Amino acid sequence: MWSLLFPVHSAGCVAMQPEKCHPLLPLLAETSTLYPMLNHVVVNPDRFKVQILYTQIDRRQDNMVEFTHYQFGLDESRYFYPASTVKLPVSLLALQWLEQQNLPGITRDTIMLSDSNRAAQTTALADVTAEHKLPSVGHYIKKILLVSDNDAYNRLYELLGQDYINSQLKHKGLTNTVINHRLSLPLAEEEQRQYNPVRFVDADNRTVLSLPARNSVKRYVNQPAPLLGKAHIANGELVPEPMDFSQKNRFSIVDYNGVLKRIFFPQVFSAEQQFNISQQNRDFIMRYMGLVPSANRYPNYDVNEFPDNYAKFLLVGGQAEPIPGHFKIFDKTGWAYGHAIDGAYIVDTEHNVEFLLVAVIYANENDTLNDDNYQLDEIAKPFMRQLGQLIYQHELQRQRSIAPDLSDLNK
């Protein structure tokens, strides 16, 4: 066994095109009265470990786009826990993997049954939230993008395995990302490298494709070991030391921005750097990134439990409220260990506004991890909401030589 280490050393615009990347601080400096929580966070950047990457989008005559980036606190070498945001690239890779099988009868809607061959593993042979009560890659992705379902992500992780996930991301140029564990399943590191047997079957329960139990020999490790917090809870006890995240997932701000671009603007990348999925599957991903939970039938979600803005922080986060129809927010949020992250392609079809925004904040006043004493509602969500509002108001005033045609996003 050997470890594949992932050191990262780049800060600010070094990770982007320097000539197309500028400080965001001059715009953020105007926040003191209209956006008090945003201002509170911006004037205390070390306390909140905030990183922001805002991307302006300008259209050209040849239907290509140009990006101009503005960053605050951007530092690829500074680790944060990405929580559920890693579910987005894994969903894309699951669709890519399906298409690469090139087998008749294998689509995102094919029944996918997860078996078990180890005590730490569980089976998934049914899904009561699906129309026909059976799981599939497509149904798992719906659950991931609508309400950030952890088990759905774990099933795709088990299907693909660490080797496929990490090698594919690196091949596409997403080199500051490491995905090495399931979510909400505190298994030993060795168990995270063991993957369930999986069967794809047709409507008559005939096997179309069968995968045996598999494992990864390589260990995908963050180096140098990221240490967070001044203390953490382990096995119910307070440990007065930082928590080691070297064997945890990583998904950097710049890579997150890159994943969003590959979804919504794949034409700016080479074929090798794109997610190799059909337009139909890309439309599927976009649809469910932008859909509110209660608008879906299978799975069905109660609007009282999962309001429109349940998993949307930027621009509309906070108290439960409907999202105006002219706003389209295609995003994936995450929150864990005091971190709140959101990355979004935000569109106003009424005013022809579009931009990308990715941000992370660490809202953990006692700097103790695993104690579930975080300030998601008090600090993180208001910060995200006000950040999105500030950038949106700026975009409303920004002059564009060519107005974008966003009519397709009204579908």
Q: Which two tokens stand for residue 309?
A: 């803005």
Does the pLDDT of residue 3 top 80, yes or no? Answer: no
Q: Could you tell me the CA-to-CA distances from 367 to 47, 158, 229, 249, 272 in Å, in that order?
A: 10, 32, 5, 20, 41
Q: How confident is the model at residue 10 (pLDDT cuts 50, 70, 90)?
A: low
Largest CA-CA distance found in the chain, in angstroms, rounded: 64
CA 81, CA 58: separation in Å to the nearest integer? 32
Residue entry with tokens 């490298």: 193
Half-sphere exposure of 379 (CA within 13 A, CB side): 22
pLDDT for position 12: 66
Rounded Cα distance between 297 and 58, Å, is 36
CATH architecture of the region 3-410: 3-Layer(aba) Sandwich (3.40)
In this structure, of 26-30, 106-110, 226-230, 364-368, the range with the lowest mean pLDDT score is 26-30
Query: CA 15 to CA 222: how far, in whole Å?
Result: 18
pLDDT higher than 60, residue 180? yes
Q: For residues 200, 206, 208 and 212, what is the CA-based torsion angle, rounded to 10 degrees?
A: 60
Q: Which of 63, 72, 62 is nearest to 16 (CA)?
A: 72
Residues forming a β-bridge with 83: none
Give the integer Cα–Cα distance in Å for 190 and 4: 15
Measured in whole angstroms, how far is the alpha carbon of residue 307 from the centre of its chain?
Answer: 19
Burial of 328 (0-12, 13-18, 19+ CB in 10 A): buried
Contact between 159 and 152 under an 8 Å Cβ cutoff? The reply is no
pLDDT score recorded for residue 1: 46
Side-chain half-sphere of 207: how many Cα atoms within 13 Å? 9
What's the rounded mean pLDDT across residues 397-411? 84
What's the Rg (C-alpha) of the chain? 21
**Residue 18: pLDDT band with limits 50, 70, 90:** low
Domain boundaries, the chain: 3-410
CB atoms within 10 A of CB 324: 10
The Cα-based distances of 206 to 102, 157, 200, 209 in angstroms read 18, 24, 8, 9
Percent of the chain with pLDDT over 90: 87
Instruction: Give the three-class secondary structure for 45.
Output: helix
Mean pLDDT of 57-64: 86
Specify the 3-state DSSP secondary structure of 136. Answer: strand
Q: What is the pLDDT of residues 299-320, one digit of tens each?
A: 999 999 999 999 999 999 999 9
Dist. CA 346–CA 357, nearest whole Å: 8
What is the pLDDT confidence band of residue 188, given thresholds at 50, 70 and 90?
Answer: very high
Residue 7: the pLDDT is 55
In the numeric block, the tokens 């990262």 are attached to 8
Per-residue confidence band for 15, with pLDDT thresholds at 50, 70 and 90: low
| Confidence band, pLDDT 50/70/90 cuts, at residue 408 | confident
Q: How many degrees, rounded to 5, is the angle at CA 84 between CA 289 and CA 332?
A: 20
Give the tens place of pLDDT for each residue, 336-390. 999 999 999 999 999 999 999 999 999 999 999 999 999 999 999 999 999 999 9
Q: Indicate the pairing of strand 3-6 with strand 219-222.
A: parallel
Mean pLDDT of the chain: 94
- Reported as a single tens digit per residue, the pLDDT across 227-278 is 999 999 999 999 999 999 999 999 999 999 999 999 999 999 999 999 999 9
Q: Residue 411 above 70 pLDDT?
A: no
Segment 172-197 shows an average pLDDT of: 96
Range with the poorest average pLDDT among 7-21, 91-105, 158-172, 232-246:
7-21
Evaluate if residue 8 carries a pLDDT over 70. no
pLDDT tops 90 at residue 11 = no
